[in-house]
Amino acid sequence: MSKQLSPQQVVDLIESQADIIVPIANGEPIQLLDILEQHAQELDGVKIHQMLALRDRAYIRGELEQLRHVSYFLSGATRKVYQQAKMDLVPNNFHEMPRLLQKATKMSMIMTVASPMDEHGYFTFGTQADYVAEFIGKVPFILEVNEHMPRTFGRNQIHISQIEGYVEHHAPLAEEQVGEISDMDMKIASSIIGDIENGDTLQIGIGSVPNAVISMLKDHRHLGIHTEMLPDGVADLVNSGAIDGTRKFTNPGKIVATFAYGSKKLYDFIDGNPAVEMLPVSVVNDPREIAKERNIVSINATTEVDLYGQCASETVGGKYYSSSGGQVDFARGVRFAENGKGYICMPSTAKGGSLSRIKLNLAPQSVVTTGKNDVDNIVTEYGIARLHGVSLAERAKRLISIAHPKFREELMFDAKKNGFLL
């Protein structure tokens, strides 16, 4: 009996007041969500839970009363809608997402993109494991089979006996749009490179600075990867001989991630590649698991830092822009690791150089993502402020030393006036 579903059969599987879980990024099932929107009049009080939605949709904009979007990480498709108070945003640390969903939702159905079924009856989630792989065999799944989705290894395979059914929709995957690496990015990256040793295991976040770091690592050897998002440059580092994972303490020889997002070059690299392991975020981002990698190096970004060392990484000028993601997961994980090192990066200024990103106080209504106790190193183009284990007064001095020179005198005056310095 075929498990391929018609649109009406998909709708018939959705109960009243259902909580539907949709994965991050390219796990987002275009055709299945189209079906839900097209048949919205037949649905009742359905919530769709997702991090980082890729596409603008009527239900996200609040135009379909039967469907409501619940976000766990804002994107270009959801940012404006949230600011208009038309949708919910749930705070979270990425590694806790499976537990949070279990606690706060009915887990009625998971809808996800999958690679085509193999001769053994297995589909894979391809670029994904994230928070949905945790529930294979435990929660009903409907798949959207896409021949462009790579086949990958790890804990993201699902057998045809474990799904309610599937639809087919074949479309190229979305690709990350990253700007060119600037001189500023290279200056920031160059400060970090000196701290990365042969044999270290890396977590590399999204953005131009992490890409700059990757571009400068080709002469390193025996590097490992344990990262939430697998970025484009990893393929180049494997080809250059920099990455082999032989000195990792967990999953030796394997490139570990919970989702992959980049260009087609990256998707081709992971397709059928046994060296790549896609594992649930509850494993990859758990600080206790991260800490098992004794020589883990974490590289992430923020938007502003105060003189305590608090990082506002999910708001811009006091307005929500994204969410916490896995920054705190890795900030805490490297703290527990034997030789762990964490770097949070940013240019020293914003708004064309008119505003310092290092401030006495964060902008009003800004949200602290990574707290002062979890921050290890802050990096700008002027160097590294090493904050772990030093006093508040010393923190302020070190942070001021990597601020843009034109703001240092003012920051020093404000620090003294407000009791940071004698």
Number of other residues whose CB lies within 10 A of the CB of residue 280: 24
Same domain for 111 and 211?
A: no
Residue 175 maps to a domain:
no
Same domain for 244 and 123?
A: no
Domain edge (last residue) among 126, 141, 168: 168
Task: Residue 386: name the closest of 395, 377, 394 by CA.
Answer: 377
Residue 1's pLDDT is what? Answer: 64
Residue 269 in tokens: 């690299």
Same domain for 235 and 269?
A: yes
Sign of the torsion angle spanned by Cα atoms 297, 303, 307, 311: negative
- Unique residue bearing structure tokens 């990893």: 234
Residue 71 maps to a domain:
yes
Q: Total domain count for the chain? A: 2
Residue 373 maps to a domain:
yes
Residue 12 maps to a domain:
yes
Same domain for 147 and 291?
A: no
Same domain for 189 and 130?
A: no
CATH code of 114's domain: 3.40.1080.10
Residue 205's pLDDT is what? Answer: 78
CATH code of 249's domain: 3.40.1080.20
Question: What span, in angstroms and rounded, lies between the C-alpha atoms of 252 and 175?
Answer: 29
Same domain for 200 and 137?
A: no
Same domain for 151 and 11?
A: yes
Residue 63 in tokens: 């135009």
Query: Vertex 156, ends 154 and 161: CA angle to 5°?
Result: 130
Largest Cα span, the chain: 78
Same domain for 378 and 274?
A: yes
Same domain for 143 and 222?
A: no
* DSSP-assigned letter for residue 363: P
Same domain for 311 and 339?
A: yes
Same domain for 232 and 310?
A: yes
* Structural domain that includes position 73: 7-168
Domain edge (last residue) among 103, 136, 168: 168
Residue 255 maps to a domain:
yes
Same domain for 161 and 20?
A: yes
Task: Residue 93: name the closest of 357, 314, 318 by CA.
Answer: 314
Task: Tell whether pTM > 0.85.
Answer: yes
Number of other residues whose CB lies within 10 A of the CB of residue 368: 16
Residue 310 maps to a domain:
yes
Enzyme catalytic residues? 228
Q: What's the Rg (C-alpha) of the chain?
A: 22
The letter for the amino acid at 234 is V
* CA 221 to chain CA mean position, Å: 26
Residue 76's pLDDT is what? Answer: 94
> Could you read off the pLDDT tens digit of each residue along the chain, which spans 422 residues?
689 999 999 999 999 999 999 999 999 999 999 999 999 999 999 999 999 999 999 999 999 999 999 999 999 999 999 999 999 999 999 999 999 999 999 999 999 999 999 999 999 999 999 999 999 999 999 999 999 999 999 999 999 999 999 999 999 999 988 778 999 999 999 999 999 999 999 999 777 888 899 999 999 999 999 999 999 899 999 999 999 999 999 999 999 999 999 999 999 999 999 999 999 999 999 999 999 999 999 999 999 999 999 999 999 999 999 999 999 999 999 999 999 999 999 999 999 999 999 999 999 999 999 999 999 999 999 999 999 999 999 999 999 999 999 999 999 999 999 999 97
